[in-house]
Amino acid sequence: MEWVQNLEVDKMIDAARATGDVAAQAKIYKELQQKLIDDQTDVFLEIQIVRHAMDKCLEGYVPGPMQSFDYAFHKYKWTCGYFPSRLAGEGGPQGRKRTS
Amino acid sequence: MRFVLTNNEATVRSMAASGELTMSSQYQSPDTYDALAKMPRFKIVRGVTAVAFYLKLNTKVAPTNDVHIRKAPALATDYETVNGTILPGGDLTGPLPKTFAEAHLDTPAPKFDPEAAKAEIVKSAYAGKTDIHLNLTYVSSAKFEKGLGLLMHSNLQQIGFKVNLSGELWNRVTEIASKVDTTPNWPKSSSVRLIPRRIRCSTPSMIPSHGNLGLDGMGAESGGRQDDRRRARHR
């Protein structure tokens, strides 16, 4: 959406792709970032902090910064004795009992 | 396990209160997280991501084809309000998040400075003009985009721009942003998920693992290769 068409930028991207040297790539990427900051192609707002509201009885969620879907449900565990209300067909959240 | 798909924040709060909800999505409004945090049953878990939020600027149409006009909105952005209230997040100092430790350029964080923003307009080709128009578009279904749009509308008007703010459906935004001339000066705020190609991450936990030694081994071998044909074969 920025429609950046800049030969200098293109050359930097090509140069980074052409090398297998990670340190050399990182150096080029830093120069590229400075170029985009100088050109103010965007307003750089923020990094997303992912948030979830989770029942205190549910444990095992581990954020995965590089994953858009970072839910390893098979690693989750329920640490209380009863599920809340309708899931367990019981009378309400207050009816739960913790085991730990 | 039961997934419930809804874009209604009131439904999420209601299900949380009744005991039906055990885990929210990551896309609730700040108000909903605050409401659930006050319920004794819930905790709020947080995690830093590699997702960067930008305000994209059309660099090809007037007046944002002038770098000084593009610097003005950057200086007229109240980062504290955006990051703290409208869409709580972490500091972003340039295109790449700090998550990419080796390649991240360590630069000072941008600052909210309306006077410096006015000074940039004076340096531009539009200096002295009283009718510098900016078209700002946001995705109408996203509450935080509207909040951001209203904040930027107010701040940009105060430094002298004539601002046209409009909310559009996402498919309309993608349509008008498909051509240079129809892309607004500020087409939308946007999240950019940056995926490392061959940059090492700052912590091992950032490297997704399938929990399968065969797959992980192939991924590691593929990631270490320059030969795209070999990489493709591993995929």
DSSP string, B39-60: STTEEEEEEEEEEEEEEE--SS
Do A86 and B18 lie within an 8 Å CB cutoff? yes
In a domain, A31, yes or no: yes
Interface probe for B, chosen from A4, A21, A30, A52 (most Cβ of B below 10 Å), is: A52
DSSP states along B199-226: PPPSSGGGS---S-HHHHHHHHHHHT--
Asked if pLDDT for residue A94 goes beyond 50, the answer is no
In a domain, A32, yes or no: yes
Do B199 and A29 lie within an 8 Å CB cutoff? yes
Do the interacting molecules here have an ipTM over 0.85?
no
Least confident of A49-63, A69-83, B54-68: A69-83
In a domain, A90, yes or no: yes
* Domain B51-193: top CATH class: alpha beta
SS3 B31: helix
* Beta strands, E only, B28-170: 42-56, 89-91, 133-139, 162-168
Q: What is the pLDDT of residues A6-65, one digit of tens each?
A: 899 999 999 999 999 999 999 999 999 999 999 999 999 999 888 999 999 999 999 888
Asked if pLDDT for residue B196 goes beyond 50, the answer is no
Q: What would you report as the CA-atom Rg of chain A, rounded to the nearest whole angstrom?
A: 24
Q: Which residue type occupies A82?
A: Y
Residues of A in contact with B20 (CB under 8 A): 84-87
**Whole-angstrom distance, CA of residue A42 vs CA of residue A30:** 16
Q: Are B154 and B109 in contact (CB under 8 A)?
A: no
* Helices and strands counted in chain B (H then E): 9, 5
Q: Is A3 on the interface with B (CB under 8 A)?
A: yes
Asked if pLDDT for residue B33 goes beyond 80, the answer is yes
* pLDDT interval class at B30 (50, 70, 90): confident
Nearest neighbour of B83 by CB, restricted to A5, A46, A62: A46
Interface probe for A, chosen from B26, B79, B230 (most Cβ of A below 10 Å), is: B26
Q: Give the structural domain span for A30.
A: 7-39
Nearby residues of B129 by Cβ (< 8 Å), 6 or more positions away:
none
In a domain, A26, yes or no: yes
Q: Where in chain B is the domain with CATH 3.10.105.10?
A: 51-193
Burial of A80 (0-12, 13-18, 19+ CB in 10 A): middle
Q: Are A26 and B199 in contact (CB under 8 A)?
A: yes
Number of domains chain A is built from: 2
Q: Is B51 on the interface with A (CB under 8 A)?
A: yes
Comparing CA positions, the residue from B87, B11, B18, B10 lying closest to residue B54 is: B87
